[in-house]
């Protein structure tokens, strides 16, 4: 399987109903309205605030309510809801989740400190003594304290400096403690929360919010993937070497067209071998999905990706997805530049084959430091010839090429009308960030520069 043959014929997107794609405002507006409703709940139940202790206590109430709301929002962002994944994009949702997680941890800490301090001022005692009283005398406060410590712990291991020192799988599984923390904190909100203790409507609405988001999480992250595993019965068809340290894995299954996977999207793959079953890693499709076959292409970077070259035909595969918004759905202009770096060619190659366009509308620029890093040369050549598309290679070090090969000057020399293009960028983070900056300097609006990162 080293030539295009039937796998690389130019395909057009299938006719029929297009997938639902949410826009960022469809997420951010409800979050803002929800936060306003939470503050409104506090306002409704707080007729008057008097004295320093009362001010501190009510500040603690607000931060506690917002922390409880933030927990639901963070779970919803990572529930892998298809409309959000296809429209907003996995990487943007992950960035929002990470930013919201930092805010929530600070809200949790502020809530604990402000409530303890406020009660201590009102009771004319010191905060340490008041903390002991809260832990030992108030219902569910001990559970809430454990929840707070779990939230803080997950926040610490999610910090960039800490994440760099641990394996992705370790970080991923530690995140599951967040669900335990939310469960422990939930009963505390009803047991001691002034806004819920005497208000049945508030308890019903708050519970409904948690149940609804929890149902989305269970459905899209657990029920749907398990059902699809039985429905599609994926197995490894074969593993083929594309270049030094680069392999393509073909996966065969049933009714794969029902997944509605789009070029540019990725799945989270779990190969059910003794060494790999516990690891779920994101890999993009490197060819358009077929009704019976999917292909991913992986470069050896670590233990998991290196083990894929040793997969045997017939190995069972568990795949979650498709995810991501690096698709034709983001396109705004007739002309498109596809800019790939290294193994970032994988989703770009699928887009190059399928993006609608007349001869002259599509241009692919492939950046690599050495020709040994360039994959799919024959496939890309055949696609370019079949579609009347332009194909450019920028191969070599900066010294060999006489400067930055992705500078605004080089890019506009390749495409004088670059500012009239949509641009899809995929590659290592350093290359992608530099390319986006150069494109912006060359006059391409940011809204027409499309990029999706796997650095979750």
Distance CA 275, CA 304 (A): 9
Query: In this predicted model, what pLDDT tens digit does every residue of 9-20 receive, in sequence order?
Result: 444 444 456 778
Whether the pTM exceeds 0.75: the reply is yes
* Averaged pLDDT for residues 56-75: 94
The answer for residues whose C-beta is within 8 angstroms of residue 261's C-beta and 6 or more apart is 267, 285, 289, 294, 321, 322
What pLDDT score does 454 carry?
A: 63
Give phi and psi for 320, each to the nearest 5.
-105, 130
Distance CA 281, CA 299 (A): 13
The answer for residues whose C-beta is within 8 angstroms of residue 44's C-beta and 6 or more apart is none
* Averaged pLDDT for residues 258-284: 91
DSSP-derived 3-state class of residue 422:
strand
Query: In this predicted model, what pLDDT tens digit does every residue of 304-335 receive, in sequence order?
Result: 667 888 899 999 999 999 999 999 989 999 99
Is the CB of residue 28 less than 8 Å from the CB of residue 404?
no
- Cα-based distances in Å from 156 to 69, 153, 159, 162: 21, 5, 5, 7
Query: In this predicted model, what pLDDT tens digit does every residue of 356-389 receive, in sequence order?
Result: 999 999 999 999 988 988 999 999 999 999 999 9
Distance CA 450, CA 103 (A): 27
Distance CA 263, CA 444 (A): 23
- Cα-based distances in Å from 410 to 219, 368, 438, 442: 48, 15, 10, 10
Rg of the chain over CA atoms, in angstroms?
Answer: 26
Tally of CA atoms within 13 A in the half-sphere of 333 that contains its CB: 20
What pLDDT score does 173 carry?
A: 77
Distance CA 328, CA 350 (A): 11
Is the model's pLDDT at 3 over the cut of 50?
no
Q: Tell whether omega for the bond before 221 is within 30 degrees of 0, i.e. cis.
A: no
What pLDDT score does 7 carry?
A: 40
CATH T-level assignment (fold) for domain 233-323:
Elongation Factor Tu (Ef-tu); domain 3 (2.40.30)
Distance CA 373, CA 395 (A): 9
DSSP string of 303-371? HHHHHGGGPPTT-BEEEEEEE---SGGG--SSSEEEEEEGGGHHHHHHHHHHS---TTSEEEEEEESSG
Among the CATH numbers 3.30.479.30, 3.40.720.10, 3.50.50.60, 3.40.50.80, which is that of 328-451? 3.40.50.80
Instruction: Output the CA torsion sign for 369, 373, 378, 379.
Output: negative
DSSP-derived 3-state class of residue 409:
helix
What pLDDT score does 44 carry?
A: 84
Query: For the chain, what percent of residues have pLDDT higher than 70?
Result: 94
Query: Minimal CA–CA distance to 187: which of 143, 145, 153?
Result: 143
List the single range of 81-85, 134-138, 294-298, 327-331 with lowest mean pLDDT.
Answer: 134-138
What pLDDT score does 19 carry?
A: 79
pLDDT top residue among 64 and 304: 64
Query: Minimal CA–CA distance to 285: which of 295, 270, 276?
Result: 295
Query: Minimal CA–CA distance to 144: which of 202, 189, 204, 194?
Result: 189
Query: In this predicted model, what pLDDT tens digit does every residue of 400-450 receive, in sequence order?
Result: 887 889 999 999 999 999 999 999 999 988 899 999 999 999 999 999 999
Domain ranges of the chain: 24-227, 233-323, 328-451
Is the CB of residue 292 less than 8 Å from the CB of residue 256?
yes
């Amino acid at each position: 399987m080293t030539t295009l043959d039937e796998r690389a014929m130019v395909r057009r997107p299938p006719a029929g109903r297009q997938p639902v794609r949410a826009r960022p405002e469809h997420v951010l507006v409800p979050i803002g309205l929800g936060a306003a409703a939470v503050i409104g709940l506090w306002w409704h139940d707080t007729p008057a605030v008097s004295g320093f202790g009362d001010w501190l206590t009510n500040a603690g109430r607000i931060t506690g309510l917002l922390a409880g709301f933030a927990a639901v929002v963070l779970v919803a962002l990572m529930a892998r809801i298809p409309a959000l994944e296809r429209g907003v994009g996995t990487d943007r949702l992950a960035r929002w989740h990470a930013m919201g997680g930092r805010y929530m941890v600070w809200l949790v800490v502020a809530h604990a400190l402000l409530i303890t301090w406020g009660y201590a001022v009102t009771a004319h005692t010191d905060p340490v003594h008041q903390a002991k009283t809260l832990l030992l005398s108030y219902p569910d406060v001990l559970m809430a304290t454990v929840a707070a410590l779990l939230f803080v712990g997950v926040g610490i291991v999610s910090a960039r400096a800490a994440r760099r020192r641990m394996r992705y799988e370790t970080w991923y599984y530690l995140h599951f403690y967040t669900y335990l923390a939310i469960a422990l904190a939930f009963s505390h909100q009803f047991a001691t929360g002034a806004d819920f203790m005497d208000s049945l409507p508030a308890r019903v609405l708050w519970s409904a919010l948690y149940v609804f988001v929890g149902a989305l999480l269970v459905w899209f992250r657990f029920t749907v993937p398990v059902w699809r595993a039985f429905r599609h019965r994926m197995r490894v068809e074969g593993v083929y070497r594309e270049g030094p340290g680069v392999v393509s894995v073909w996966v065969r299954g049933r009714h794969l067209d029902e997944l509605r996977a789009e070029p540019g999207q990725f799945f989270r793959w779990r190969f059910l071998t003794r060494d790999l079953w516990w690891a779920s890693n994101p890999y993009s499709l490197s060819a358009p999905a077929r009704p019976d076959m999917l292909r991913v292409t992986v470069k050896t970077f670590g233990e998991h990706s290196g083990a894929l070259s040793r997969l045997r035909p017939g190995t069972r595969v568990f795949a979650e997805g498709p995810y991501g918004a690096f698709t034709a759905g983001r396109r705004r202009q007739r002309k498109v530049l596809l800019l790939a770096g290294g193994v970032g060619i994988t989703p770009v190659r699928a887009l190059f084959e399928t993006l609608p366009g007349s001869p002259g509308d599509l241009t692919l620029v492939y950046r690599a430091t050495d020709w040994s890093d360039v994959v799919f040369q024959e496939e890309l050549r055949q696609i370019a010839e079949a579609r009347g598309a332009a194909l450019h290679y920028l191969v070599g070090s900066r010294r060999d090429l006489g400067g930055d090969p992705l500078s605004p000057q080089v890019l506009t020399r390749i495409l004088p009308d670059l500012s009239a293009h949509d641009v899809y960028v995929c590659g290592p983070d350093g290359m992608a960030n530099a390319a986006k900056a150069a494109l912006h300097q060359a006059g391409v609006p940011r809204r027409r520069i499309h990029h999706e990162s796997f650095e979750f």
